[in-house]
Amino acid sequence: GAGVSQSPSNKVTEKGKDVELRCDPISGHTALYWYRQRLGQGLEFLIYFQGNSAPDKSGLPSDRFSAERTGESVSTLTIQRTQQEDSAVYLCASSPGTRVDRQFFGPGTRLTVL
Amino acid sequence: GEDVEQSLFLSVREGDSSVINCTYTDSSSTYLYWYKQEPGAGLQLLTYIFSNMDMKQDQRLTVLLNKKDKHLSLRIADTQTGDSAIYFCAPRGGGYQKVTFGTGTKLQVIP
């Protein structure tokens, strides 16, 4: 597709359940980011993939959060044993990994944990 | 890692100039971006400046960079109600280091 896509667009889950969020980056983009944005707040960095380098996981808030990326394509963010404080919009962005490394953002997945 | 700080809120009257400030800590930052997030919409790149520049002008937008003080600002001339949004400062470290976003400044334009 032409842009970054994310699925699902909305996810409602019960506390304690696991969820998987998917990101399809723009084809050819080597870099991929996951962010979390709580209501009315700024972007919180979660994880960064760049090509074949080891991912930067420094932003993951707990060991309940993990992410994988297959080569330079799809990425999945997994949240295990969800908590109410995990409720947020999860944004994915990809970028070409060039000098002017502008990020293209997906529409986000709105996660609500009841 | 990089720390990026912005004030959380700015209110201006329509037609006035807005100045959104940002400070960062990584002196090796090469590109410094400004992103805009309109209500209910995604983030869009607004403009950027390369670290060897002091100023960049793009229509109503002026970006000023003080590399010595690690201070970046975005000036919007003749601010319009359509400029109401959250503005994020986002410097990128050298090489292929990740982009770090500030907390965002919510700009409110009063008609």
Chain segment B82-109, per-residue pLDDT in tens: 999 999 999 987 666 788 899 899 999 9
Q: Is A50 in contact with B33 (Cβ distance < 8 A)?
A: no
Pick from A104, A97, A99, A91: which is nearest to A21 by CA? A91
Rounded mean pLDDT, B38-63: 92
Residue B96: the pLDDT is 64
CA distances for B106 relative to A25, B13, B18, angstroms:
28, 14, 11
Residue B93: the pLDDT is 78
A:25-84 residues touching chain B, CB 8 A cutoff: 31, 33, 35, 41-43, 45, 48, 50-51, 53, 56, 58
**B99: nearest CB among A41, A53, A101:** A101
Interface-testing mutation among B5, B86, B89, B96, with chain A (most A C-beta atoms within 10 A): B96
Q: What is the 3-state secondary structure (H, E, C) of chain B?
A: CCCEEECCEEEEECCCCEEEEEEECCCCCCEEEEEEECCCCCEEEEEEEECCCCEEEECCEEEEEECCCCEEEEEECCCCHHHCEEEEEEEECCCCCCECCCCCEEEEEEC
Query: What is the rounded average pLDDT for all residues in chain B?
Result: 92
Measured between beta carbons, the chain A residues lying within 8 angstroms of B98 are 31, 33, 45, 48, 50, 56
User: Nearest chain B Cα to A103, which residue?
Assistant: B45
CA distances for B46 relative to B10, B21, B37, angstroms:
18, 15, 10
Q: What is the 3-state secondary structure (H, E, C) of A56-95?
A: ECCCCCCCCEEEEECCCCCEEEEECCCCHHHCEEEEEEEE
Measured between beta carbons, the chain A residues lying within 8 angstroms of B30 are 99
B107 Cβ partners below 8 Å, 6+ apart? B10, B11, B12, B18, B20, B76, B79, B83, B84, B85, B86, B87
What single DSSP character describes residue A52? T
Cβ count within 10 A of residue B45: 15
Positions of chain A with pLDDT lower than 50, given as ranges: none
User: Nearest chain B Cα to A49, which residue?
Assistant: B98
Residue A93: the pLDDT is 94
**A105: nearest CB among B42, B48, B92:** B42
Q: Is B43 in contact with A91 (Cβ distance < 8 A)?
A: yes
